[in-house]
Structure 1
Amino acid sequence: MPDCPECGMVWSDTCEPFETNNETAYNEQLTAAFSSVSANVTPVPDLSNQSWTDAFLTVHNLLKERYAFSSRKAVDWDRLYNTYSPKIVDAEARNDSASYYRTIREYLFSIPDGHINVLSENGDFGARYTDIGGGYGITVNLLDSGKCIISYVAHGSEAEKKGLKPGDVVTAWNGKEIHDAINETPYIWATKKPSTSEGIFLHQQRFLTRGPVGSQVTISVISPEKGSETIHLTGYDDRYDTVNRSSFFLGKNINDYGIENTLFDIKPQISNDSVTVRTLPGGYTYIALYEESYDVYQPFKSAMVSAMSNNTPGIVLDLRFNGGGDDNLASCIAGWFAKEPVFYEFATTYDPGLHNDTIISAACTKPRPRIYEGPVVVMVSPDTISSGEGVPMVMNKTARGKIISWYGTDGAFGMVTAAAILPLDLEILYPDGASLDENKKIQVDSDSTGIGGIAPHVRVPMNEDTITRGMAGEDVQLMYALKYLEDNKN
């Protein structure tokens, strides 16, 4: 463990606070970690009674001062303000809540960081439905070969009536070459904001086939039966059907765009458990973790003890829906697989008194007294964010296990806090601290080139076969994980 004399707290064994099962005592330790900066901490500014324009300027200056990754992501704060401030002024002049909210999202989404976001107690003022409430009856996916194919055609849709079928190749969208069209597609309504270029491009594929109800699109396709043709489609209210269908990379169909509450409406579509455990064919143990909250540890521990007692031949750890939480718990979970200690992180926060970033804590992943030494597969996705990226990070550092997935993690690993409350009760979130490695370099968070997160060791192929199987309801990534375990049995 590197020395950290300035740290308010050092966790040489991150499992210790969870093994004691005393959450109150642990919360006191977390508070102690901030002792060095606590005297300078300022309350979250409530700007709700200011004008929209003044509040926007205030929060912009706060983010410019305190955002932890301005240099890493090469954020041009002046350009951002000059771009979006006139839109805020215009929205306020017209008292247009939808335009105001949309502009706030555009501003925040121009910074590729899943931790910079906005929460709204009053919804989106109709802006989301106006922008993406219509579907065109199809979804598309880019294959490893570079081809873009139709992956789903809604039954009874105009697209079906005009003869479009899964497997048809899309070459252009509204007159633009298909790759260019995808790259130019806005993605501001993504619920889990992407941080890497890979994650952004995935969401752009999904949003390409969304638009306003009644909007017209023209697509160029090549089909085996008809050859090349041009099809005109009209957006209709499909209750976000094509959104659900295009979420198959998560292992099931999930409405993650058309929900009302972004914090609470996704998880119930997946599971009501804190931890899901089941036995897979071949006796392998499947453990899904959806977050790193204090109450997750005991059921996870029970699952691990049971798996080892039953001599499970391999473990699949599913983190594809993991929304993050406690970094220490992520480090502790990794300790059930690590064969030797590994430094997890220095955690920093912004000190308003000193006007700089300050290290407040250090943590080390320590192997448990009894670890699982068999083969392990971790599944991730761009919805694996924040501390959810900690376990695969340790797997990379220790060369334990294989990450097998279609995509890498989100690439947002900073320490999140609230920036301000804006008019119309909008709460702005942002990271004012970073996770540093043993050399005190930023780890995991994406950079200015869009590179970041934890990439799979083995990428599941994205081809006609895997797309068809995924659309039919098969968890293709899980099948590849099982094959790896079968091929690596002791």
Structure 2
Amino acid sequence: DLIEGELSEVDDFSSMTYTEAFDAMIDKFRREYAFTEFKGIDWDAKAEEFRPLFEEAEAQNDQAAYEWALLQFLWSIPDGHVGMSFTPSLEARFIAATEGGLGLAATELSDGRIIASLVLNGGPAEQAGVEPGAELLAINGEDFDAVIENTVAWSAPFSTRDYERLQKLRYALRFPVGEQVELTFRNPNESEPETVTLTAIAERASFNATSFAAGLTGFELPVEYDLLLGGYGYVRIYSFFDNDRLTVDLWERMINTLNRNNIRGLIIDMRQNGGGNGFLADQLAAYFFDEPHVLGNTGFYDEATGEFVFDPDTRDRFFLPPEDQRYRGDIALIISPGCVSACEFFSYNMTIENRATVVGHYTTGGMGGSVEQFYMPGPINVQFTVGRAVDADGNIHIEGQGVKPDVRVPVTEESVLSNEDALLNAAIEVLNRRTAATTHEQGVIALDERVSGTLAFNTRHRYTFSTEDDVVIDIVLTGDTGLDTVLRVYDENGAIITENDDARLGTYDSAIMELEISANSTVIIEVGAYTDSGEGAYTLTVTKSII
């Protein structure tokens, strides 16, 4: 399980002095933190750096200073699983530092430019003339790139560079309410930059718009699925935290629906999945496999040996569902840095045997271990990583790295400023390439001729029709019961002339009526099934139209 460590009594340092608790905490991290060597963390150096802050807070009997010192210490550990419970003093500090905005959100493009991705109506930025798509060059005279690097992101710490950079960019545009901010920018289609002075106002809309949780209401089911217009299945797994039985029931209902309707491709959207039950994540992925793969293991610190120990009896593996509940179609998986912890293990599992093509702008969050909590004075809950997760070969595979996209989609002005979902479009294109129907040439069909054939799954049949005279024809395609036919006509160069799915309401047959064909020309008549997922016998006829 990626949420809880080994079942053990929680360490409680809450009755100690600030410095005593700090020393106990450092010792605990030194022994039990799962990725000390992997990340090159020097706990003695951290003790030297941060202990004076705890000593000063203790000498002044200043609880707020102690809490701030503790937060800064935890922020210094590059692991997104590390954190602490927020206190009223930290909440007040957070609000004071970030409540103000300029009515402006920014996105960094793949070419390195940083542009205004959102300009709120009536906000300070809009009133000063900043337009969507404006390149943001400097804040208070400092290059914007340097501003990002020097920004404190309250969502720290981070396991990957992608996640850190994105979060720092969000916080770079937050200020105390009323603070004067000098912004240098260049609007689209303008050659010269402008510098304006803005006053930060109390607004969080621009900040919330760039959150990985943007758009979530809290009313989402753990698994929600639909059928896209192109005939592919689409599912969003929002969480592995929800009720296990509900999640599995929804998942199996989806799998059965896909199989029952011969859906040939599935897009799994993991962009807003914050993790949860690792065992559940592993077993949902098992529905796409026919082999009980060993997935990896998790090691924990052993007091007796002073080493991290991996129990071979606790290796993670697939427990396969019945064969009729497995989906064997093609899969595209969409990821983002908002996919963390158990979400990443599900995503990693889908790379086994290249089962899915992974699509994203960035890697996942890189949070690959089990966590444990202990108590510090306050009392304050502190969480840190105690389980070292590895793959089947014993290699650290998630922590600090994340799952990388097979198809890395560039972040462009067009994708940022349009209403299009660039990652979803890329996933659809992946499936289009992977599921492209096989075309079989069937020869010539003449006027007033009737031919029959049988379509296999994901295939199309093509017939050539030629005429020496101008002619107007009717083309009718009928299929066996349940075969939803599609009829297409192409010119000699392969450009589509016209197509038809249903000849009339309530029928699966297809027809193209009164099609004008010029003298001495050839067209290609193509027989297919809706989404290329049907199979069965058909009859195709070409007759002269009665006009």
Cα 1:91/1:230, change in 2 over 3 Å: farther
Mapping of residues 121-140 of structure 1, within 5 Å: 124-140=90-106
Please, which of 401, 404, 413 is the counterpart of residue 464 of structure 1? 413
Amino acid at match of 2:269: D
Superposed CA RMSD: 2.5
The answer to whether the aligner puts 1:350 opposite 2:301 as a matched pair is: yes
Give the alignment's TM-score, normalised by structure 2.
0.73
Contact 2:222 2:240 survives alignment (8 Å): no
The answer to whether the aligner puts 1:180 opposite 2:146 as a matched pair is: yes
Contact 2:21 2:377 survives alignment (8 Å): yes
Contact 2:155 2:167 survives alignment (8 Å): no
Q: Deviations over 1:373-418 (max 9, x none)?
A: 2121111111211111112212223211111122211111111111
Unmatched 5+ residue regions in structure 2?
436-457, 459-547
Cα 1:166/1:96, change in 2 over 3 Å: farther
Mapping of residues 12-411 of structure 1, within 5 Å: 41=8, 43-94=9-60, 96-120=62-86, 124-190=90-156, 193-223=157-187, 224-225=189-190, 227-238=192-203, 240-247=204-211, 250=212, 253-254=214-215, 269-293=217-241, 294-295=244-245, 296-360=247-311, 361-365=314-318, 367-368=320-321, 369-370=323-324, 371-411=326-366
Partner of 1:440: 394
Alpha-carbon distance in 1 for matches of 2:116, 2:61 = 41
Alpha-carbon distance in 1 for matches of 2:263, 2:219 = 24
Alpha-carbon distance in 2 for matches of 1:216, 1:86 = 34
Alpha-carbon distance in 2 for matches of 1:57, 1:136 = 42
The structural deviation recorded for 1:98 is: 4.3
SS in 2 for 1:72: helix
Give the alignment's TM-score, normalised by structure 1.
0.81
Contact 2:124 2:200 survives alignment (8 Å): no
Amino acid at match of 2:423: Q
Please, which of 364, 382, 388 is the counterpart of residue 428 of structure 1? 382
Contact 2:415 2:421 survives alignment (8 Å): no
Contact 1:340 1:366 survives alignment (8 Å): no
SS in 2 for 1:126: helix
The structural deviation recorded for 1:122 is: 5.4
Contact 1:344 1:363 survives alignment (8 Å): yes
Percent of paired sites with the same residue = 28
Alpha-carbon distance in 2 for matches of 1:96, 1:154 = 40
Alpha-carbon distance in 1 for matches of 2:308, 2:317 = 21
Cα 1:236/1:89, change in 2 over 3 Å: farther
The structural deviation recorded for 1:308 is: 1.3
SS in 2 for 1:87: helix
Contact 1:106 1:188 survives alignment (8 Å): no
Larger Rg: 2
Alpha-carbon distance in 2 for matches of 1:226, 1:440 = 54
Cα 1:48/1:69, change in 2 over 3 Å: same
Structure having the larger proportion of residues in helix: 1
Q: Deviations over 1:446-471 (max 9, x none)?
A: 1xxxxx000111122211110012xx
Amino acid at match of 1:149: I
Alpha-carbon distance in 2 for matches of 1:97, 1:208 = 28
Partner of 1:19: none
Contact 1:101 1:125 survives alignment (8 Å): no
The structural deviation recorded for 1:356 is: 2.1
Unmatched 5+ residue regions in structure 1?
1-26, 255-267, 447-451
Could you tell which deviates more after superposition, 341-350 or 457-466?
Answer: 341-350
The structural deviation recorded for 1:340 is: 3.6
Amino acid at match of 1:461: P
The structural deviation recorded for 1:138 is: 1.0
SS in 1 for 2:288: coil
Could you tell which deviates more after superposition, 425-434 or 213-222?
Answer: 213-222
Alpha-carbon distance in 2 for matches of 1:437, 1:284 = 31
Partner of 2:502: none
Alpha-carbon distance in 2 for matches of 1:334, 1:175 = 50
SS in 2 for 1:325: coil
Aligned length: 427
Partner of 2:421: 475
The structural deviation recorded for 1:62 is: 0.9
Alpha-carbon distance in 2 for matches of 1:232, 1:209 = 14
